[in-house]
């Protein structure tokens, strides 16, 4: 039997992907059709409703800022989907801080987001440890940075190898090209940041995720050490593996 399609096709949501099928050690894999990552679900069109409903999504985690969420509301229909707004930061980053073209720049911004997004990350992991939350999708505006951080930490806790986590992050590159091409034709498609976003910040280079994981381990020893420092219940990782691995 062939594996399900990883990329879920919608007309104006470009980075909606299944995190299933990834190897997680000891011959186990992440279960398909349980956990998804995505870009802005506010761009789902009415004619996407059936395709979205077919996924059986029980929980949506919105990592966007309050301003983004307020400006771009979306209708989840009447299917009983539970919505959680858990912003990784309150205002868009100041991209003028540092050199966007320098090696490691974006990875360092991701580490900054772990500070501002500490409560959001903890709450998301607690949702992921609850069987009633599934199937679950977490998303931001582009599905690359905030969503990429949560995906990397979750996959690492599941035992997915670094090279797979890095490849999953890099898979956002083509989606970003499609998204930005669409956005150029749609004035007002995004909540505009105070400062222009540099082109380097739009990319999804594998080296960014490699460096981000290195920075976590340099500070906390491991991803497990990070979540322990944040006060996440020690049983969360075990429950994640029980719910998401087969």
For residue 73, being part of any structural domain is answered with yes
For residue 40, being part of any structural domain is answered with yes
- Give the helix ranges, DSSP H, for the chain: 49-54, 66-71, 105-116, 118-128, 146-157, 162-170, 172-184, 199-202, 206-220, 223-229, 235-244
Q: What is the CATH number of the domain that holds 69?
A: 3.90.190.10
For residue 70, being part of any structural domain is answered with yes
For residue 243, being part of any structural domain is answered with no
Report the run of H or E that residue 83 belongs to, with start and end.
strand 82-85
Q: What is the pLDDT along the chain (246 residues), one digit of tens a residue?
A: 667 899 999 989 999 999 999 999 889 999 999 999 999 999 998 888 889 999 999 999 999 999 999 877 777 766 789 999 999 998 776 665 667 667 788 999 999 999 999 999 999 999 999 999 999 999 999 999 999 999 999 999 999 999 999 999 999 988 888 888 887 777 666 555 445 566 777 889 999 999 999 999 999 999 999 999 999 999 999 999 999 999
pLDDT at site 93:
64
pLDDT at site 96:
59
The C-alpha atoms of residue 75 and residue 245 are separated, in whole angstroms, by 31
Q: How many domains does the chain have?
A: 1
Choose among 158, 160, 144, 157: nearest CA to 209: 144
Four-CA torsion 98, 101, 104, 108, nearest 10 degrees: 40
Measured in degrees and rounded to the nearest 5, phi and psi for residue 59 equal: -140, 135
pLDDT at site 26:
87
Rounded CA Rg of the chain: 17
For residue 35, being part of any structural domain is answered with yes
For residue 1, being part of any structural domain is answered with no
Its domain, for residue 92, covers 17-231
The C-alpha atoms of residue 213 and residue 208 are separated, in whole angstroms, by 9
CA atoms within 13 A on the CB side of 145: 25
For residue 244, being part of any structural domain is answered with no
For residue 201, being part of any structural domain is answered with yes
pLDDT at site 170:
96
């Amino acid at each position: 039997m062939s594996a399900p399609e990883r990329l879920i096709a919608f007309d104006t949501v470009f980075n909606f992907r299944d995190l299933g099928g990834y190897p997680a050690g000891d011959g186990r894999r992440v279960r398909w059709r349980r956990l998804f990552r995505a870009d802005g679900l506010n761009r789902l069109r009415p004619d996407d409703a059936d395709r979205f409903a077919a996924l059986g999504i029980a929980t949506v985690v919105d990592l966007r800022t309050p301003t983004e969420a307020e400006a771009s509301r979306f209708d989840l229909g009447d299917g009983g989907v539970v919505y959680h707004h858990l912003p990784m930061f309150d205002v868009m980053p100041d991209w003028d801080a540092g050199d966007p073209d320098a090696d490691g720049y974006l990875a360092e911004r991701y580490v900054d987001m772990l500070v501002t997004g500490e409560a959001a990350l903890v709450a998301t992991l607690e949702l992921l440890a609850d069987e009633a939350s599934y199937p679950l999708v977490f998303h931001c505006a582009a599905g690359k940075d905030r969503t990429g951080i949560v995906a990397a930490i979750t996959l690492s806790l599941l035992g997915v190898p670094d090279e797979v986590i890095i490849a999953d992050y890099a898979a956002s590159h083509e989606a970003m090209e499609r998204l930005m091409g669409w956005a150029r034709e749609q004035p007002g498609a995004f909540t505009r940041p105070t400062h222009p976003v540099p082109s380097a910040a739009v990319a999804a280079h594998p080296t960014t995720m490699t460096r981000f994981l290195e920075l976590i381990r340099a500070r906390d020893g491991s991803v497990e050490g990070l979540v322990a420092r944040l006060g996440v219940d020690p049983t969360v990782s075990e429950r994640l593996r029980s719910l998401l691995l087969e």
